[in-house]
Structure 1
Amino acid sequence: MGSYSKQAKEIVDAVGGKENIEAATHCVTRLRFALKDESKVDSSKLDQIDVVKGTFSANGQYQVVIGQGTVNKVYQDLVEETGVGESSKEDVKKASESNLNPLQRAIKTLADIFIPILPAIVTAGLLLGLNNILTGQGIFFEESIIERYPQWSDIANVINLIANTAFTFLPALIGWSAVKRFGGSPLLGIVLGLILVHPDLLNAWSYGAAKDAGEVPTWNILGLTVEKIGYQGQVLPVLFASYVLAKIEIFLTKRVPEGFQLLVVAPVALLVTGFAAFILIGPVMFTVGNTITDAVIFIFDKVPLIGGFIYGGFYSLLVITGMHHTFLAVDLQLVGSKLGGTFLWPMLALSNIAQGAAAMTIGWLSKDEKLKGLSFTSAISAFLGITEPAMFGVNLRFRYAFVAAMISSAIAGMLISANGVLASAIGVGGLPAFLVISNGITAFLVGMAIVIILPIVLTFIFSKFVKQK
């Protein structure tokens, strides 16, 4: 008998019994179930189990928040005591996909591609923030730190080089993750991404000036004139090229004898995909990507208050549906555009902080010790950019707290959009976000104050009209 066998049995019973479980696994803090019928889940019974800190359903999986260090023990007892077979995360993903509609599957695919590369992108954002501190004027002195202390300039240059690498070779990161997701060899995905940013190609950031000057280099391929440009900072070209590469590789692997695969599969797959990328996929997706970013920029340029209100206020709803992952691609596209930064990501950061402030307030208001602990720990997590525990474990249970956070982030979103706040990169989407703000830092800090104070005030006020635990 394991130390958590009782709780494991109670959890299985509350999610509809082992006959309702297709697959089960766990991550660092949560049990993840692929269920046949989520309507059989008794969430109130789950909430009464002492090790359970919250529950939510996302991406076709029903997730039970347990906590780091305990979840693996509960899972092991769940496997041993209930007869539920041990499953990998891939097993649960495949089982859960049967519950998704086509749009949800598309969103989940994007999430599966971008989530693995987030650590590299966020790390690069934090290092760019450190570089901003060293090179920005008016932070500590009227001039920048490196202007006052020139001996620090080379240190700042090295930091900037390290930080920019992830963004300069972003197609390689996306190629690795995308080809892996589509069932191909991740190594070929890296090579494909590097092909698209090869130094012999015209840098994508120089394309506009070269086009205006009529100096865009070209190839003549069987009578076709193909622009010889790279795709730095671009997301869509490498995504679609990765899909083609993976499918060609899978097709060839099934048909080429094993003894010849090394000589045939990778060379043919890369050659065909490379030509397709430069002749068709790249130019089309380059145009589509730029059209999308131009449209988003146009909206926020012409009606920033409306854009800020909608995105800032409703971002947390995107998190509930999982659609927020699609906007990571837009953020990366904006960072790589002529704008040189994203105005969407700062609103994401403020929305996360607002959810954390609302969850913290529930902790102050509650008399339930378990809820207090969950509220405070999930608030800290939200302040550092991870909002799911705060949203699903606390704020959505007390809907007025969730609404208070939405109202606050909508107001802050209007403020920072009207003031043209930009982030030079994607960093930690919480309190440390100010490190990567490249334009409108004062307005952003005011917005940060709003999403810390206003959710507390509104949650207190709304709680007077609702019976509090």
Structure 2
Amino acid sequence: MDYRKCAQEIFRHVGGRENLVSAAHCATRLRLVIADNGKLDMDALEDIDGVKGVFSNAGQLQLILGTGTVNKVYDEFLAVSGMTAATKEEVKAAAAARQPLPKRMVKALGDVFVPILPAIVASGLIMGLLEGLCKAFPTLADSGTYTIFHLFSNAAFVFLPILVAVSAARVFGGNIFLGAVIGMIMIHTDLVNAWSVADYVASGTPIPTADVWFGLFDINLTGYQGHVIPVIIAVWIMCQIEKRLHKVVPEMLDLFITPLVTVCATGYLTLTVFGPVFSTLENWVLEGVQMLITIPFGIGAALMGAIYPLTVVCGVHHMYNVIEAGMLSSVGLNTWMPIASAANFAQGAACLAIALKTRERKTKALALPSAMSAALGITEPAIFGVNLRLVKPLVAGMIGGAAGSVVGSMFHIGATAYGVTGLFGFLTTTDYIVPYAIELAVSFVVAFAVSWFLYKEKAPETASAPVSQAETTPALTCQPGVVYCPIQGKVIPLEEIPDDTFATGVLGEGFGIQPAVGRVVAPFDGEVTTVAESKHAIGLASSDGMELLIHVGINTVEMNGEGFTLHVSEGDQVKAGQLLLDFDLELIAKKGYPTTTAVLVTNSEDLGSVSVHAGDQASLDPILTVKACVSNN
């Protein structure tokens, strides 16, 4: 192909130099950050010779060109546009900066809270289990064992500002240990514990105060236990101060001056200005949410239960973590969790109705495990793989979520943690076991019934011509963002692959397969981007942006191709179900190599959440869903 001409056409149809912010490339794609998407000619871009697909993801325009080709087109593109080369990280940063402010703020909140979820979940589950055991064995509350485990159960909530501060410093690019110090300052023992303020008021004891800003006004010396927004604001300010000091302070003095000034300035501003202001605002938000949930007849709860799945679709549902964390820290009970749980459980029920009603094998194979996943609180496979695509099940789930949320509001159900919904929610709602069960039952029955009633399966189209016997590739309509099982066998989680490189996800998210047959087929329509010389591994790229690696066996590169037979070459276009590779299972085992095969989305970091359906699978069963690819289609 004419690489120069391809680059020139891309340059012209993206709106020229003034519409370009940054440019980089990966193994198969040209990645551009665009100033104004309205100036793009998407149809013309897709028609350019050499461009195999065009899509937007995370603020980037990505043009699929293929391995080898992308490097040459990129070099020509830089020459044509006059731009300088950028790294993938620089392009991602530029793309993030182009996002609307509300979206960037929500993303930042998600980035802060998602890493600390395991700590909150662990503490909440311990608290729930401990309360359940005390109900069954009342004397347990007087034992030393209870004392120790009670300490475990509330540790994450007692020191939540420190956890939030460390995570926020990482997100905002500051020193995480300075962030921890700011968190410690905000809950220091010299300040009155925020949870003890009510006792001071009840007893008539005045809360200690301090005059600040040269006697301009006084502040109450109270801590920030139970608050998260003031901590995030404080650490954001800290990071801005620290970054600017690093730029202006001489290097030989930076180690001493920057931490000193950063901590002093941030700490003083936080305790005297930003802390009091944003803690008040946060209290207003929490009170508003509580009022919304308790609106008579459950109107507010119903509204939130209905729209919750839409926030999952938009990827902004992590913003609720702020509300839940605030509830747990301030009153010790998360009354938002029942709404999320009702919404998630209802989406699973709507998906299950499709699984039981449909006669289409592929849809049934995808819907059934997705419904089970949603029942345990993971709804992305159900929403993106089934409900959103068919629309009516999504609506049915929203109706069921609204109905269940009304029940949760009526019974004032609360949880001891966040991040846990569905059936696992029973572990964090031990004081509301029966009401919680009723809520889930209502959500399930309403969503299932509405989905069953609304969904009408289209009759299969009659073929207009007989199918040639020469066609050996199974007919399959690929779903966006879905990887079909390339090998018949048992699917296992990524971490169970007996190789640290694969198991730790260094090369990307995915799964392992313990093969039942020695035959690899294409898991989607796409292009063969790489073929290992030893024939044991194949790289593929889909039209919607996935880059997949299928690696047969562990350390089988040492077999130098023995026992492997390739049926494709690099650059070939393949259809789902097309035979790619045969391999001798017995020979691999005889040589002493594990036959476990790794299937990895090597660019999963760029694409977002990856959902895997484990268990025994046949070739071309839906096995993995990439959220970003579904959203972009």
Which category of TM-score, normalised to the shorter sequence, fits these structures?
0.7 to 0.9
Aligned partners of 2:321, 2:92: CA distance in 1, in Å? 21
The aligned runs of 1:128-167 (5 Å cut-off) are 128-135=127-134, 137=135, 144-147=136-139, 153-167=143-157
Which among 247, 257, 282 is matched to residue 264 of structure 1?
A: 257
Q: State the Cα deviation string for residues 241-272 of structure 1 (Å, max 9, x = none).
A: 01110000001000111221111111110111
Q: State the Cα deviation string for residues 11-49 of structure 1 (Å, max 9, x = none).
A: xxxxx9xxx9967899xxxx9x988679959xxxxxxxx
Aligned residue number for residue 475 of structure 2 = none
Q: State the Cα deviation string for residues 267-296 of structure 1 (Å, max 9, x = none).
A: 110111111111111111111111111222
SS in 2 for 1:342: coil
What displacement does 1:201 show? 1.6
Aligned residue number for residue 470 of structure 2 = none
What displacement does 1:329 show? 0.6
Change (3 A) 1:316 1:59: farther
Q: State the Cα deviation string for residues 43-93 of structure 1 (Å, max 9, x = none).
A: xxxxxxxxxxxxx98864799xxxxxxxxxxx9x976786599x9995574
Aligned partners of 1:437, 1:94: CA distance in 2, in Å? 41
Aligned residue number for residue 5 of structure 1 = none
Which among 207, 210, 226 is matched to residue 219 of structure 1?
A: 210
Aligned residue number for residue 193 of structure 1 = 183
Q: State the Cα deviation string for residues 115-174 of structure 1 (Å, max 9, x = none).
A: 222222222222222222222x3xxxxxx4242x568x3333322211211111111111
What displacement does 1:402 show? 0.5
Aligned residue number for residue 397 of structure 2 = 405
- Further displaced range: 237-246 or 208-217: 208-217
Which among 451, 456, 460 is matched to residue 448 of structure 2?
A: 456
The aligned runs of 1:427-442 (5 Å cut-off) are 427-437=419-429, 439-442=431-434
Contact conserved, 1:58 with 1:322, CA < 8 A, in 2? no
Aligned partners of 1:154, 1:398: CA distance in 2, in Å? 55
Report the residue type matching 1:97 in the other structure: A
Report the residue type matching 2:137 in the other structure: I
Change (3 A) 1:150 1:130: closer
Aligned partners of 1:167, 1:385: CA distance in 2, in Å? 22
Aligned partners of 1:146, 1:281: CA distance in 2, in Å? 45
Structure possessing the higher radius of gyration over alpha carbons: 2
Aligned residue number for residue 306 of structure 1 = 299
SS in 2 for 1:271: helix
Aligned partners of 2:131, 2:61: CA distance in 1, in Å? 41
Aligned partners of 1:396, 1:180: CA distance in 2, in Å? 34
SS in 2 for 1:428: coil
Moved over 4 A (4+): 20-26, 33-41, 56-63, 77-85, 87-93
Report the residue type matching 1:286 in the other structure: S
Change (3 A) 1:266 1:80: farther
Change (3 A) 1:150 1:110: closer
SS in 1 for 2:426: helix
Q: State the Cα deviation string for residues 327-348 of structure 1 (Å, max 9, x = none).
A: 21111112222x4312111110
Aligned residue number for residue 315 of structure 2 = 322
1:333 aligns with 2:333: no
- Considering fraction of residues, name the structure with more strand: 2
Aligned partners of 2:219, 2:398: CA distance in 1, in Å? 48
1:174 aligns with 2:164: yes
Q: State the Cα deviation string for residues 287-330 of structure 1 (Å, max 9, x = none).
A: 11111112222333343511111111111112222332222111
Aligned residue number for residue 612 of structure 2 = none
Aligned residue number for residue 82 of structure 2 = none
The aligned runs of 1:7-156 (5 Å cut-off) are 60=59, 93-97=92-96, 100-135=99-134, 137=135, 144-147=136-139, 153-156=143-146
Per chain length, whose mean CA-contact separation is higher, i.e. which structure has more relative contact order (CA < 8 Å, sep 6+)? 1
Which among 350, 356, 360 is matched to residue 342 of structure 2?
A: 350
Aligned residue number for residue 183 of structure 1 = 173
Which among 288, 291, 294 is matched to residue 287 of structure 2?
A: 294
SS in 1 for 2:389: coil
Q: State the Cα deviation string for residues 383-429 of structure 1 (Å, max 9, x = none).
A: 23222222112110011110111101100101110121111221412
Contact conserved, 1:58 with 1:320, CA < 8 A, in 2? no
- Further displaced range: 348-357 or 208-217: 208-217
- Further displaced range: 192-201 or 297-306: 297-306
What displacement does 1:363 show? 2.6
Aligned residue number for residue 228 of structure 1 = 221
Aligned partners of 1:350, 1:167: CA distance in 2, in Å? 25
Aligned residue number for residue 241 of structure 1 = 234
Aligned residue number for residue 77 of structure 2 = none
1:416 aligns with 2:415: no
Stretches of structure 2 that go unaligned for 5 or more consecutive residues are: 1-12, 14-19, 44-54, 75-85, 461-633
Aligned partners of 2:302, 2:350: CA distance in 1, in Å? 19
Percent of aligned pairs with the same residue? Answer: 34
Change (3 A) 1:100 1:150: closer
Aligned partners of 1:383, 1:468: CA distance in 2, in Å? 30
So what's the TM-score if we normalise by structure 1? Answer: 0.78
What displacement does 1:456 show? 2.3
Contact conserved, 2:59 with 2:98, CA < 8 A, in 1? yes
Aligned residue number for residue 9 of structure 1 = none
Aligned partners of 1:25, 1:435: CA distance in 2, in Å? 44
Change (3 A) 1:316 1:201: same
1:378 aligns with 2:351: no
Aligned partners of 1:463, 1:80: CA distance in 2, in Å? 46
Change (3 A) 1:379 1:156: farther
SS in 2 for 1:201: coil
Change (3 A) 1:146 1:403: same
Contact conserved, 2:226 with 2:326, CA < 8 A, in 1? yes
Change (3 A) 1:321 1:57: farther
So what's the TM-score if we normalise by structure 2? Answer: 0.59
Change (3 A) 1:277 1:430: same
Contact conserved, 1:354 with 1:406, CA < 8 A, in 2? yes
- Considering fraction of residues, name the structure with more helix: 1
Aligned residue number for residue 467 of structure 1 = 458
Report the residue type matching 1:431 in the other structure: L
